[in-house]
Amino acid sequence: MRVKICGITQPQQATAIASLGATALGFICVPTSPRYVTATQIRAVVTQIPDNIDKIGVFANAHIQEIQQIVQDGGLTGVQLHGDESPEFCYQIRQNLSKVEILKALRIRSLDHLEQAAIYVQYVDTLLLDAYHPQQLGGTGQTLDWAMLEKFHPSIPWLLAGGLTPANILEALSHVKPDGIDLSSGVEIQPGNKDLNKVAELFQKLRSRE
């Protein structure tokens, strides 16, 4: 299972998290976020971690040119669109960044929101389902209604996000069968400062399922 730890800000924590078993690291490229990092900071982390770890930048309603520049300067392998980006915008990003994974995050509040996911599957590589919050785009600690997702089987890979922690991950995965999971606040001491003990506990729980 793919495991993405998002909101990375510190190179030493990134290398530790990668060694514990993460397959992807997420970097918040939204200036208003408490987990925000610059392309220079991302590059400092990227140079410290193995090539087989995905490096994903998280953007929200950014301009295509800005996204392209940060991907290039930061050494990113993926772009996660976490704002109100349209399918057409996703298509434009795909055309401009053909070798980069495109993820579209959807904040799910109801079955109607879930049905919107089908619109994006032909434009992106991966979907990410997050909990809805009226003010915050992510990292809220709020969980999704997992029962609502039990029959969610899109034609492309998808990641489950939204309030996941080492304490609830097994319960979440008993309801839904995502291709991967995404955690941020659930393995933090404070925004941007990861708790490596919690990260280790997460991978212990995941290994217990095998």
Task: Give the catalytic positions in this structure.
Answer: 6, 130
Q: Which residue has the tokens 């704002």?
A: 83
Cα–Cα distance between 197 and 142 in angstroms, integer? 21
Alpha-helical (H) ranges within the chain are 11-20, 39-46, 64-74, 87-96, 111-120, 169-175, 196-208
Cα–Cα distance between 8 and 194 in angstroms, integer? 8
Distance of CA 190 to the CA centre of its chain: 18
Which of 103, 99, 105 has its CA nearest to residue 132? 105
Dihedral (C-alpha) 141, 142, 147, 149: value to the nearest 10 degrees? -80
